[in-house]
Amino acid sequence: MHLLDAIRDAFALLLSGDAELWQVIWVSLKTTVVALLFATPLAILLGYLIAARSFAGRRIVIWLVQASLSLPTVLIGLLLYLMLSRQGPLGDFRWLFSQSGIVAGQVLIALPVLISFTLAAVQAADLRLTETAVTLGASGWRVMFTVLYEVRFGVMAAVISGFGRVISEVGCAIMVGGNIAGDTRTITTAIALQTSKGEFAQGIALGMVLIVIALAINAVLLLLQGDPRTARGVS
Q: What is the pLDDT of residue 223?
A: 84
Mean pLDDT estimate for the chain: 90
Question: Percentage of residues in the chain with pLDDT exceeding 90?
Answer: 67
**Can you give the length of the chain in residues?**
235
Lowest model confidence (mean pLDDT) among 44-48, 88-92, 199-203: 199-203
Q: What is the pLDDT of residues 141-180, one digit of tens each?
A: 988 999 999 999 999 999 999 999 999 999 999 999 999 9
* pLDDT for residue 31 is more than 70: yes
Q: What is the pLDDT of residues 97-151, one digit of tens each?
A: 999 999 999 999 999 999 999 999 999 888 788 878 878 888 889 889 999 999 9
User: What structural domains and CATH numbers belong to the chain?
Assistant: 3-225 (1.10.3720.10)
Whole-angstrom distance, CA of residue 208 vs CA of residue 33: 19
Q: What is the 3-state secondary structure (H, E, C) of the chain?
A: CCHHHHHHHHHHHHHHCCHHHHHHHHHHHHHHHHHHHHHHHHHHHHHHHHHHCCCCCHHHHHHHHHHHCCCCHHHHHHHHHHHHCCCCCCHHHCCCCCHHHHHHHHHHHHHHHHHHHHHHHHHCCCHHHHHHHHHCCCCHHHHHHHHHHHCHHHHHHHHHHHHHHHHCCCHHHHHHHCCCCCCCCCHHHHHHHHHHCCCHHHHHHHHHHHHHHHHHHHHHHHHHHCCHHHHCCCC
What confidence category does residue 235 fall into, taking pLDDT thresholds of 50, 70 and 90?
A: very low
Sequence-distant contacts of 132-139: CB under 8 A, at least 24 apart: none
Q: What is the pTM of this model?
A: 0.90
* pLDDT for residue 233 is more than 60: no
Inter-axis angle of helices 99-123 and 73-84, nearest 10: 130
